[in-house]
Amino acid sequence: MDRLCERDPYYDDMKVAKRAIDQMEMVAMMEGIPKFCPCGGSIVETRKDEKRYYQCEKFKDDRTDCMHIRKLWDKAMEEEVSSLRESVDYNRKKVLNHEYLIEEMQKELKVHRAEIVNVSKVVFRNPMDPKKG
């Protein structure tokens, strides 16, 4: 460890603050259906005031708890479907591109087969055949 950090009385406080900021950033950036909470807690589905939520089991229902995930079920589903659509569109484009490449390769293969037939006729012709000699 760096000796300057050991002497800094605020080093541990800065590390704790950095971890907290990273955790809040992960909570804010989480899209779709959350699979885990950055705190390590599991995600549970809950209901409150006729609304459904995905939230961390350690979530406290106050305005200051921004360290744990709590996301409206509708919003999570919307993001998940949007992400899946993007994935399907991307994969569809890849498949279409591959189909085009396969068609082009089949055309080239037909040309090469014709060339092989012509070359084999020249190479394997019978020298005793009066028609060809």
For residue 121, the SS3 value is: helix
Per-chain mean pLDDT for the chain: 82
Q: In a 3-state reduction of DSSP, which class is residue 46?
A: strand
Neighbouring residues of 51: CB distance < 8 A, sequence distance ≥ 6: 72, 73
> What is the spatial distance between Cα 68 and Cα 38, in angstroms, rounded to a whole number?
7
Q: Where are the domains of the chain?
A: 9-88
Higher pLDDT, 11 or 101: 101
Name the more confident of 4 and 69. 69
pLDDT of residue 133: 47
Please say if the pLDDT value at position 128 is more than 70: no
- State the pLDDT at residue 88: 96
The H or E element containing residue 80 is: helix 73-123
**CA contacts within 13 A on the Cβ side of 93:** 5
What average pLDDT does range 114-131 have in this prediction?
77
pLDDT per residue as tens digits for the range 3-60:
555 667 788 888 888 887 887 787 777 788 888 788 888 888 888 888 998 888 888 7
Residue 48: partners with Cβ closer than 8 Å, 6 or more residues away: 61
For residue 90, what pLDDT is reported?
95
Tell me the sheet residues that pair with 55: 44, 70
Structure tokens at 42: 């599991």
102-114: buried (b, 16+ CB within 10 Å) or exposed (e) per residue?
eeeeeeeeeeeee
Say whether pLDDT at 97 is over 80: yes
Query: What residue has token string 């990273």?
Result: 22
Res 127: pLDDT: 61
